[in-house]
Amino acid sequence: MDPVAGIVKAARVLRPGGRLAIFGHVYEPPAEVAEPFAAAYRRAAPDSPLNGQPARRPIDLYQAAYAKFADKIRETERFDDPEQWRFDWEQSYTRDQWLDLLPTTGGLTQLRPDQLAEILHAVGSAIDSLGGRFTMNYTTLAATAIRAGTS
């Protein structure tokens, strides 16, 4: 969805005093899982535009995006000053739980079955080396604001 069009539409449908909240979850696996994943992704999908990105923590990219969402909310002049919220949390996964979830995330949804299989094999082996389970760090980010006005 186009963030600007979505924010304008939200302003039309929210009553004054209603809250708009744009939120999402950022996950950051431990290095023992992230590094084999990145290497396998580069091998399996060498033409991916994600391969040329600088090595930054995902949270940095998402925080920049949510700052832009807050700016767009502010630009509509239909909301009170936006706030940015952050919640850090953890979730433990077994190998099978993570391998079931991983194909539903990000750029993996666009891969061919053989590409996905290569990545899942590498990640599964990495999790096996950790004893078959690991803890994922998550951050939930939100840009939120109250609909201004009396009508």
Structural tokens at position 149: 């006005």
- Asked if 137 contacts 34 with a C-beta cutoff of 8 angstroms, the reply is no
- The tens digit of pLDDT for each residue in 10-20 reads 999 999 999 99
pTM over 0.75: yes
Query: Cβ(127)–Cβ(134) under 8 Å?
Result: yes
| Strands laid side by side in the 19-28 sheet | 19-28, 133-146, 83-94
pLDDT tens-place string over residues 47-62? 876 665 544 568 888 9
Q: What's the CA gap between 128 and 6, in Å, rounded? A: 43
What is residue 75's predicted lDDT score, i.e. its pLDDT? 92
Query: Look-up: residue for tokens 């186009």?
Result: 2
